[in-house]
A and B are shown apart, each in its own frame.
Chain A
Amino acid sequence: MTDTPENKEIDDETTDDAEESAVTTDADEATATKTDESDESDAPDADDDASTAAATVDDADTEASDDVGDEDDIETPAAAPAPAASTSSGEHVVYAENLTKQYGDFTALDSLNLSLEKGQILGFIGPNGAGKTTTIKILVGLARPTSGKASIAGHDCTRDVKQIKRLVGYMPDVFGAYDNMRVHEYLDFFGAAFKIPQRDRAKRIGEVMDITGTAYMHDLYVEALSHGMKQRVGIARTLLHDPTVLILDEPANGLDPAARIDMRQILLRLAEMGKTLIVTSHILPELSRICDVVAIITNGKLRAFGTLDQIMQQVRRLRMMQVTLSDREHVLQLSNYLKANLSADSEVTPSETEAEVRFSTVADDKRLTELLTGAIRDGLSIAQFREVETDLEDAFLEVTGLREKVTERADGRAVN
């Protein structure tokens, strides 16, 4: 995955204000950079993060392979750890243990475990219908788990619904606009609904508008806002009652590149303020730039949970190589050649459409050189032979087992 300074930057002013230096990971690791609230004793430290992250992966690794492998034959690099083995040793702000939700015979959520600390940003990833919204609804108090428990800042999400509503700021994937209402009226209504006293409300609305850069929308009609503007107002709405945890469902969905960068900066700023964020998104490069922790869920099961480093390390156990051919008729021949010469844990994925073959392998550089030499000797028209940088998208496809499906679909379309 590529990492550029602009991807990681946050508002200069904000950075300057932060007393403690930013937590910066190695550029190649390509994780997000964010400043931590320096005066918070329980704010996660960079070193702590790294060490506990490694521990989590080690702990979870063995179980993960067994659990998930049985389920769908998906190779899982890092499985959901039990909350006790969380990403850090600090106090859990968000905590879920064996969270299960069933609708009749359908299991929407299956024994989900996760935990988050103050100021962390969780990237919650999964295909449509994976169970993300169900998890969120349980955390917000809009759904009850069939079994298991979830809590926010020590308050049970099922029993203490009133407290949960004050602790959580929830932005659903649907904005929820009202006709004939200006932005300040809209925020005033939700401020009143959260029982913010009238004398403080105007000031608070001004604050959240400043944080989210929506001050200039004060008198605009909500229904006339563009999608990007609505998303910002949506975040302003969730911030009104100063919640501890923000749960944002697809905040970057449908945004143009500039609005996406703005959104990223807003989210990083919120984490700086000590808010814990749960962000779902299908735009994985976006998430990888801001998230401390990633959870990958499919079919109601948590397939991977850990810091971005942990997940990348797991995916990177196997090197991903890409061979591009100048003659697409050689694709099958190369694929067979590689299958014959690679170890059993390697996976070869040919794509006739793109005239390329991808394969994962533990082979070192020397072995790869031998393979390349052998292929050229066999008369295969190799135009390019390179190692593919692994990013969150790759990790997602690997963990969910969707890579093969995507390739098959692409080939199927080409054939058709």
Chain B
Amino acid sequence: MKNPIIQRELIGTLRQPRALAIQVVFVLAMVVLVMLVWPDSATVNLGGRQARQLFGVFAYGLLVGLMLLAPALPATSIVNERRRGTLILLLTSPLTPASILFGKVAGAIGFVLTLMVLSLPAAAACFVMGGIGLSQLAITYGVLGVVALQYVMIALYISSMTKSTDGALRMTYGVILLLSILVLVPYYMLQGKDLSQLGLPMPEAIEAAVRWLASLSPLPAVMQLADHGSVGTRGLESTGDPVTRYLITAAITIVACTFGLIKRLQPTVTDRPRDKGVVTDERSAGQRAARRFMYVWFFDPNKRTGTIANYENPVMMKEFRTRTFGRAHWMARLIAGCLVVSLGLMFVALQGTMWISTDYMAGILVVFQMGLIILVTPALSAALISSELESGGWTLLQATPLSAGVIMRGKLLSVAWTLTILLLATLPGYAILWMIDEGRSQRVVNGLITLALTALFSMIVGAMCSSIFRKTAVATTAAYLLLVGLCVVTLLPWMGEGSLFDQQVVERILMVNPLAAALNAVRMPGMESYQLTPANWWFLGGGTIVASAVLWFRTWQLTKPQ
């Protein structure tokens, strides 16, 4: 290999025991997936319906695997180089920014390709069942390869922008969630509607914009390849080829990230002065007035903070102050964002039958809140202990009179408060649902219980990962894998219900899925036929207790004298 970075990135990655573990788990997951949906009887549907359904589940499984695994390594790649001080060594070497980038991309994509190759036996099993052609298989793998490349490029770009590995992971998974799921929401809501009748200006332009927005997600393309039509299940119209549209948007994303990365890998990127740390109190009168207006004073991140009060847990206050999203101005922005989304959904719900039914609206609200929980909670809790271990702060905390209980209480409270505030900001939508139909009140309560338990479970699982892994990036990835795996992978059998699985099996599997349980609680169409609560609450409660025990044990291990 002429490019030394490829060798270091790829060989270095493959040498890690973690890489082997990922490969083994990935192959096992694929095998289990195919085994679960493999027909029991010796007869095969000649129409190929069963085979196509099996292939669909396999393709979605592969897509989810790529969404979770492809960005994990590149998201920490450049930021790690910067933190270790090796980026400057690369930038001062004869390697050009393009060759550094090529090495990084090839290293990351090489590992993803090994995973895709390892999935080939499972794909072959689908192929031998008939119903799908070799070209369909090849195109699916091609599209998934583009997905992997797109996510690798996005992850690398974010890695070049951020200051911490966990921050890079958070932002990467957030962007991927946005690009893969959230961009579909407007399409899902407007599909099949006559926009001109809704009184919207320039309906054609809006329709085209929404369609192209949805094309940022690889999901419609994969659905097309799996013969599942388009997003949604209501016989919605789907114009154009989603595969081609996705490939176009992916190519644009990849090219944009490439140019952005080459710019960020120029040696002059380090030519920056250190932050002078000027506080608002020391700025000119005009600047002070402007900032007070802009931040309503209270939320000004640069105003001088007061001392921690005697009654406050110092660790909790420290967490709020050091965490980017813990600072008042970010919290205010997040809460405002949640309120806007919630109010928007309320407005849509009030339009009632004209746009979309309240059942769907409740489902969208649940998906929004669940997405928020799954995205935000590991980002907050998976760094609680590991970041201290990494920075050396844990030793300093140990040298203070603070007990392990006070330290952990402060850390967990900092997450719990943030989550509570964020979730409260999204509650007005439920209030409207309650008001529209009082008979829905029990459903709303059940949905809220599921969401609250999910938030608690996610927080403790994140903290547990943080106590197990010494590196924040690994802890954050593990937490995301666990939670996203629980919420998304267990949905796959639901897609094959009827032909591949009977309802009882699907119901049992969905009982561990908090997203499915919450959707079931609010009677979202498609989920109303199951009874997932209170079984799911017991699962989440039990999981929380087990994770708490592990967290307690690890904290005890870490705080006791050696």
Provide the residues of chain A in CB contact with B307, threshold 8 Å: 188, 191-192, 198, 201-202
> For the complex, is B327 an interface residue (Cβ under 8 Å from A)?
yes
Least CB separation from A145: chain B residue: B561
Task: Identify which of A160-168, A269-277, A303-311 touches chain B.
Answer: A160-168
SS of A interface (majority): mixed
Query: Closest approach, in angstroms, between the C-beta of A82 and any C-beta of chain B?
Result: 25
Interface string of A170-191 (1 = CB under 8 A from B): 1010111111111011001111
Chain A residue contacts of B561, Cβ below 8 A: 137, 141-144, 158, 161
In Å, the complex CA distance between A201 and B277 comes to 22
- Is A219 a contact partner of B397 (Cβ separation < 8 A)? no
B278 within 8 A of A: yes
| Residues 265-285 of B contacting A (Cβ, < 8 Å) | 274-279, 282
Residue among A170, A198, A220, A237 making CB contact with B276, cutoff 8 Å: A220
Contacts known (A142-B399, A180-B327); A198 close to B322, Cβ less than 8 A: no
Residue of A nearest to B274 (CB): A224
Whether B277 and A224, one on each chain, are in contact in the complex, defined by CB atoms closer than 8 angstroms, is: yes
Known contacts A165-B399, A179-B163, A189-B314; 6 additional CB pairs below 8 A are A170-B399, A176-B391, A177-B393, A189-B318, A191-B307, A220-B276
Q: Which residues of B contact A142 (CB under 8 A)?
A: 395, 398-399, 561-562
Complex Cα–Cα for A176 and B395 (A): 8
Any A CB within 8 A of the CB of B296 = no
Residues 264-284 of A, flagged 1 when their CB comes within 8 A of B and 0 if not, give 000000000000000000000
**Quick check: is A252 within 8 A (CB to CB) of the other chain?**
no
Report B313-335 CB contacts with A as 1/0, cut-off 8 Å. 01101100111100100000000
Q: Does B310 contact A (CB under 8 A)?
A: yes
A409 at the interface (CB under 8 A from B): no
Complex CA distance for A202 and B315, rounded to whole angstroms: 18
Contact partner of A193 (CB less than 8 A), chosen from B279, B310, B314, is B314
CB neighbors of A among B69-93 (8 A): none
In the complex, whether B46 has a CB less than 8 A from a CB of chain A is no
The verdict on A221 contacting chain B, using a C-beta distance below 8 Å, is yes
Whether B305 contacts A195 by the Cβ 8 Å rule is no
Bound complex: CA of A379 vs CA of B402, how far in Å? 73
B308 on interface, CB distance cutoff 8 Å: yes
Residues of A within 8 A of B396 (CB): 170, 172, 176, 190, 237
Count B interface residues, CB 8 Å.
38
Bound form: Cα–Cα A37–B469 in Å: 48
Alpha-carbon distance between A366 and B402 when the two chains are bound, in angstroms = 67
**Residue numbers in B under 8 Å from A79 (CB-CB):** none
Contact sample, A vs B, 9 pairs, CB 8 Å cutoff: A141-B561, A142-B562, A165-B401, A178-B393, A192-B307, A201-B307, A219-B282, A220-B275, A224-B275
Q: Which of B309, B314, B324 has the most CB of A within 10 A?
A: B314
Closest to B388 in A: A176
Residue A257 is within 8 A (CB to CB) of chain B in the complex: no
List B contacts of A162 (CB < 8 A). Answer: 401
B409: Cβ under 8 A from any A Cβ? no
Given contacts A142-B562, A185-B305, contact A193 B327 (CB under 8 A): no
Residue of B nearest to A183 (CB): B277
Say if the beta carbon of A337 comes within 8 Å of chain B.
no
Any A CB within 8 A of the CB of B392: yes
Could you tell me the distance between the alpha carbons of A300 and B246 in the complex, rounded to whole angstroms? 64
Residue A104 CB within 8 A of the other chain = no
- Selected from B277, B312, B314, B323, the residue in CB contact (under 8 A) with A182 is B277
| Chain B: CB-nearest residue to A168 | B399
State whether A175 and B278 are in contact (beta carbons under 8 Å apart), knowing that A144-B562, A185-B305 are contacts in the complex.
no
Contacting residues, chain B, for A224 (C-beta < 8 A): 274-275, 277
- B317 near A181: Cβ-Cβ < 8 Å: no
Q: Which of A225-282 contact B (CB under 8 A)?
A: 237
In the complex, A37→B400 CA distance in Å?
28
Q: Is B7 an interface residue (CB 8 A)?
A: no
Residue B164 interfacial (CB < 8 Å):
yes
The residue on B at minimum CB distance from A178 is B322
Q: Does B263 contact A (CB under 8 A)?
A: no
**In the complex the two chains form, what is the Cα distance from A177 to B394 in whole Å?**
11
B residues in contact with A158, CB < 8 Å: 561
CB of A125 to closest CB in B, whole Å: 22
Query: Which residue on A lies nearest to B167, using beta carbons?
Result: A179
Question: In which size bucket is the chain A interface?
Answer: 35 or more
The docked-state distance in angstroms from the alpha carbon of A109 to that of B212 is 68
Question: Are the CB atoms of B310 and A219 closer together than 8 Å?
Answer: no
Partner of B322, one of A170, A179, A201: A179
Within 8 A of A (CB), among B390-418: 391-393, 395-402
CB of A197 within 8 Å of the partner chain? yes
Tell me if B392 and A172 are in contact (CB < 8 A).
Answer: yes
Contact residues in A for B322 (Cβ distance below 8 Å):
178-181
A175 to B304, CA, bound (A): 23
CB atoms of A193 and B397 under 8 A apart: yes
- Contact in complex: A193, B400 (CB < 8 Å): yes
Task: Determine the distance from Cα of A137 to Cα of B317 in the docked complex, in whole angstroms.
Answer: 28
**Nearest A residue (CB) for B164:** A179
Do A178 and B278 have beta carbons less than 8 Å apart? no
List residues 7-44 of chain B with CB under 8 A from any CB of chain A.
Answer: none
A49 to B393, CA, bound (A): 38
Closest CB in chain B relative to A161 CB, distance in Å: 7
Question: Which chain B residues border A175 with CB–CB below 8 Å?
Answer: 392
Q: Select one of A176, A193, A201 contacting B401, CB under 8 A.
A: A193
Say whether A165 contacts B274, CB under 8 Å.
no
Bound-state CA distance A142–B560 (Å) is: 7
Contact A189–B317 (Cβ < 8 Å): yes
Q: Which residues of A contact B402 (CB under 8 A)?
A: 193
CB within 8 Å of A: which B344-400 residues = 391-393, 395-400
Q: Which of A143, A174, A201 has the most CB of B within 10 A?
A: A174
B392 and A176 contacting across the interface, CB-CB below 8 Å? yes
Give the shortest distance, in Å, between A99 (CB) and chain B (any CB).
14
Distance between Cα atoms of A172 and B274 in the complex (Å): 25
Known contacts: A198-B307, A219-B277. The answer to whether A174 contacts B401 by CB under 8 A is: no
Task: Compute how far the CA of A224 lies from the CA of B317 in the bound complex, rounded to whole angstroms.
Answer: 21
* A192–chain B nearest beta-carbon distance, Å: 4
Q: If A185-B305, A221-B277 touch, does A194 touch B282 (CB 8 Å cutoff)?
A: no
B401 touches A194 (CB 8 A): yes
- Is there an interface contact between A192 and B317, defined as CB atoms closer than 8 Å? yes
Contact in complex: B318, A166 (CB < 8 Å):
no
The residue in chain B whose Cβ has the minimal distance to the Cβ of A143 is: B562
Kindly name the residue among B282, B308, B391, B399 whose own CB sees the greatest number of chain A CB atoms within 10 A. B399
Residue among B275, B282, B393 making CB contact with A176, cutoff 8 Å: B393
Residues of A within 8 A of B398 (CB): 142
A305–B278 Cα distance when bound, in Å, is 48
* A161 nearest CB neighbor, chain B only: B561
A205 to chain B minimum Cβ distance, whole angstroms, is: 8
Question: Are B324 and A188 interface neighbours, CB within 8 A?
Answer: no
Given contacts A180-B323, A198-B309, contact A190 B400 (CB under 8 A): yes
In whole angstroms, what is the CA distance A307 to B164 when docked?
46
User: Which 10 residue pairs across A and B have the least CB separation, nearest first?
Assistant: A174-B392, A192-B314, A220-B277, A176-B392, A193-B400, A192-B308, A143-B562, A178-B322, A176-B393, A224-B274
Q: Is A57 an interface residue (CB 8 A)?
A: no
Are the CB atoms of B275 and A221 closer together than 8 Å? yes
Question: Chain A's nearest CB lies how many Å from the CB of B388?
Answer: 8
The CA of A224 and the CA of B278, in the complex, are separated in Å by: 12
Complex contacts, B391 vs chain A, CB 8 Å: 174, 176-178
Name which residue of chain B comes closest to A158, CB basis.
Answer: B561
Q: Which residues of A contact B393 (CB under 8 A)?
A: 176-178
In the assembled complex, the Cα of A192 lies from the Cα of B310 at a distance in Å of: 7
Please tell me if the beta carbons of B277 and A165 are within 8 angstroms of each other in the complex: no
Taken together as a complex, chains A and B put the C-alpha atoms of A219 and B561 apart, in Å, by 35
Given the complex of chains A and B, what is the CA–CA distance between A198 and B323 in angstroms?
A: 23
CA distance A194 to B315 in the complex (A): 11
Compute how far the CA of A78 lies from the CA of B164 in the bound complex, rounded to whole angstroms. Answer: 49
Assess whether A140 is interfacial by the CB under 8 Å rule: yes
Known contacts A162-B401, A166-B401, A198-B308; is-contact A185 B562 (Cβ 8 Å): no
Of the candidates B274, B397, B562, the one whose C-beta lies within 8 Å of that of A137 is B562
- Indicate if the CB atoms of B308 and A188 lie closer than 8 Å: yes
